[in-house]
Amino acid sequence: MRRVVEEDLVPFFAALERSPDAVFVTDRANHVVFWNDAARRMLGFTSDEALGLSCNELLKGTDLFGNRYCSTECPIMQLANRGEVVRHFALGLTSRDRQPIMTDISVLQLRASEPDDYFLVHQVRSFEQADTRSAPDTTTVPPKPHLVSARGSDDARARKLTAREVEVLGMLAAGRSTPEIAERLHISQLTARSHIQNILDKLELHSKAEAVAFAFQKNLI
């Protein structure tokens, strides 16, 4: 069922409709409640096709490793649930004609009248549109910049992570289970659990959800 958008947001959405930037908005249930014409031009879906669908149904977002990202366990929604700031991040989307598009996403969180309610405004830019600081300099598949981000982090805890641990952290953010991580990396589940525990120990955290939130806050994934 389509969510009825609050009247206070209608003028804001009208302004977004005229924006040259591709923008879509999701609600707390991760369903699209707004889709502007620039998003149609970039991704191919019309507003009628997009509204009411979840991000996973519509865009099938993945991270730079190809791990499923848009889902009911979306880490962006987890951050929003806690009222935390979401930084921009890279995301692979699938267009209406099933073509992969690597994008740079910026998110603005709008709090609604209900205490635990919110909307997430997604500004979508292709890597060709994004500035060189946020996009890899490549015309093909972008490299994996996660380790570079960790090594250059201003947080000493992030700099302790190995390349494998950063990769595992990215998979956790994509909602992968321990068995899925083990299968994808061709390692045992015991080794996968060991990597996860090492991540928690190095980041001084107590849960996988906290580790994912940390990774987003520090712009590691």
pTM tops 0.85, yes or no: no
DSSP string computed for 91-114: EEEE-TTS-EEEEEEEEEEEE-SS
Phi-psi region of 38 (alpha: psi -120 to 50; beta: other; left: phi over 0): alpha
Lookup: tokens for 98 = 């099933």
The per-residue pLDDT for 144 is: 43
Give residue-wise pLDDT tens across range 82-109: 777 776 777 888 899 988 888 888 888 8
Give residue-wise pLDDT tens across range 154-172: 778 888 888 888 889 888 8
Distance from C-alpha of 63 to C-alpha of 203, rounded to nearest angstrom: 21
Give residue-wise pLDDT tens across range 107-145: 888 876 666 678 889 999 886 554 444 444 434 444 444
What integer best gives the mean pLDDT of the chain?
79
State the CATH architecture for 7-126: 2-Layer Sandwich (3.30)
Distance from C-alpha of 176 to C-alpha of 81, rounded to nearest angstrom: 20
Give residue-wise pLDDT tens across range 42-57: 999 999 999 999 988 8
Question: Does residue 7 sit in helix, strand or coil?
Answer: helix
Phi, then psi, of 24 in degrees rounded to 5: -135, 160
Complete edge-to-edge strand list for the sheet that includes strand 89-94: 32-35, 22-26, 118-126, 100-111, 89-94
Give residue-wise pLDDT tens across range 59-71: 988 766 666 777 7
Could you state, in order of their start, the residue ranges of all structural domains in the chain? 7-126, 146-217
Say what percent of the chain tops pLDDT 90: 26
Q: Please state which CATH class domain 146-217 belongs to.
A: mainly alpha
